[in-house]
């Protein structure tokens, strides 16, 4: 991120903080926080069991269940499902970003159209397609910059005015969607015992994607919770912390493909919605991750509070998983080296992210543990060796002239 983008990001964070202040002091949100913390901790402790239950329940509900051990497995499963199409549609999803699906499919000549406004802007920004916030991916781009990106990539002049930009992108995406019959989304929470997935959104784009012939839902095993009531509690808390509102405009609960029994109670498939719903459940290192690293509900509050993220932006993090928790999880999703390169040693261990986290993820403790293990593989700032040698030899961290 350049200086201008960092400035815009900080100003967007400030607006978000102002919007959230009232709701975060509401006693209802406090009790929801306690409830969800317990749900998330218990669910991560029982992740394997929930996975087995969900597999059976999805199949009972007519949802095809697939399991991917690695990111590569996930890409290949999805490719088998979409090969033969030249364009497919997608909504915002950190899990899809994690497995590098867009680039992979592009190399196979399959275009992905981003349907979320912020994601579409970031996608058009070919110079740097990294998001700045899990819910507001383009909040680091000011309006003049967005107008410039649109001019450069779509070749049209647009007034630097929010509604004009929104209308232009909306029409552009709708035109592309006419060519798509496969929609790929993530899910915010998954109810194992009900075989249901919840996807929250404000724009209505998920509803469009879930009406396509095939709806593919890509989700990590860490999103599993026992029941639909638990899943709703999780997404309500996520919404409050991420946007400062009590509820999103839409919560799509997907529990099967489209069907009707309106004629003599005979079951008929393929009414208006998806003919096929396919879940791609991804492990990709999660089952070996530190449990507390998986409590996250994806609200992005940690990065708003983080002094390092505010100073350097999305250099500190891994793809859509931003800030300290993002660098930490990248050790498990990718490697020690990835975690080191994503800023494991940039964290100040101040603990502000834990104070702001609705489920109290102990990010600084996690980072301390991971630094200890990652340095054993040779990934640590080499200047530390020099400092330690100076202390041993000179009794001071500084080298004598």
**Interacting residues toward ligand SF4 by CB under 6 A:** 305-308, 323-324, 347-353, 363-364
Quote the least distance from Cβ 340 to ligand SF4, whole Å.
Answer: 15
Q: Which is nearer to ligand SF4, 208 or 352 (CB)?
A: 352
Q: Which is nearer to ligand SF4, 174 or 349 (CB)?
A: 349
Quote the least distance from Cβ 278 to ligand SF4, whole Å.
Answer: 35
Residue number of the CB atom closest to ligand SF4? 324
Q: Which is nearer to ligand SF4, 336 or 356 (CB)?
A: 356
Quote the least distance from Cβ 308 to ligand SF4, whole Å.
Answer: 4
Beta-carbon count within 10 A of 69 CB: 12
Q: Which is nearer to ligand SF4, 182 or 328 (CB)?
A: 328
**362's torsion region: left (phi>0), alpha (psi -120 to 50) or beta?**
beta
Q: Which is nearer to ligand SF4, 242 or 277 (CB)?
A: 242
Quote the least distance from Cβ 370 to ligand SF4, whole Å.
Answer: 12
Quote the least distance from Cβ 304 to ligand SF4, whole Å.
Answer: 10
Quote the least distance from Cβ 388 to ligand SF4, whole Å.
Answer: 22
Q: Which is nearer to ligand SF4, 54 or 94 (CB)?
A: 94
């Amino acid at each position: 991120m350049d200086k201008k983008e960092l400035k815009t990001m900080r100003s967007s964070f400030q607006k978000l903080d102002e919007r959230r202040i009232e709701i975060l002091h509401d006693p209802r949100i406090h009790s929801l926080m306690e409830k969800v913390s317990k749900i998330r901790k218990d669910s991560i402790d029982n992740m394997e069991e929930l996975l087995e239950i969900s597999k059976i329940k999805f199949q009972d509900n007519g949802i095809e269940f697939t399991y991917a051990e690695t990111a590569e497995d996930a890409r290949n499963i999805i490719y088998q499902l979409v090969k033969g199409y030249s364009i497919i549609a997608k909504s915002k999803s950190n899990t899809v970003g994690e497995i590098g699906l867009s680039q992979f499919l592009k190399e196979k000549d399959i275009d992905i159209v981003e349907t979320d406004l912020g994601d579409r802007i970031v996608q058009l920004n070919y110079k740097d397609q990294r998001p700045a916030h899990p819910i507001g991916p383009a909040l680091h781009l000011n309006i003049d910059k967005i107008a410039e990106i649109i001019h450069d990539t779509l070749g049209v002049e647009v007034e630097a005015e929010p509604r004009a930009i929104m209308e232009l992108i909306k029409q552009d995406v709708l035109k592309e969607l006419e060519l798509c019959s496969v929609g790929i989304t993530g899910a915010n929470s998954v109810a194992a015992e009900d075989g249901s997935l919840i996807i929250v959104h404000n724009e209505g784009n998920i509803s469009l994607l879930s009406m396509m012939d095939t709806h593919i839902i890509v989700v990590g095993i860490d999103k599993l919770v026992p029941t639909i009531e638990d899943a709703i509690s999780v997404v309500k808390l996520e919404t409050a912390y991420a946007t400062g509102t009590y509820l999103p405009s839409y919560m799509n609960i997907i529990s099967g493909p489209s069907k009707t029994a309106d004629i003599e109670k005979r079951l008929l498939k393929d009414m208006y919605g998806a003919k096929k719903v396919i879940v791609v459940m991804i492990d990709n290192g999660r089952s070996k991750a530190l449990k507390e690293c998986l409590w996250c509900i994806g609200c992005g509050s940690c990065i708003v509070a983080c002094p390092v993220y505010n100073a350097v932006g999305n250099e500190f993090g891994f793809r859509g998983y931003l800030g300290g928790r993002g660098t930490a999880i990248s050790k498990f999703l990718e490697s020690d080296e990835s975690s080191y390169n994503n800023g494991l040693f940039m964290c100040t261990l101040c603990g502000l992210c834990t104070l702001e986290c609705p489920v109290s993820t102990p990010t600084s403790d996690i980072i301390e543990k991971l630094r200890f293990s990652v340095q054993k593989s040779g990934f640590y700032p080499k200047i530390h060796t020099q400092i330690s040698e100076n202390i041993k030899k000179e009794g001071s961290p500084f080298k004598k002239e």
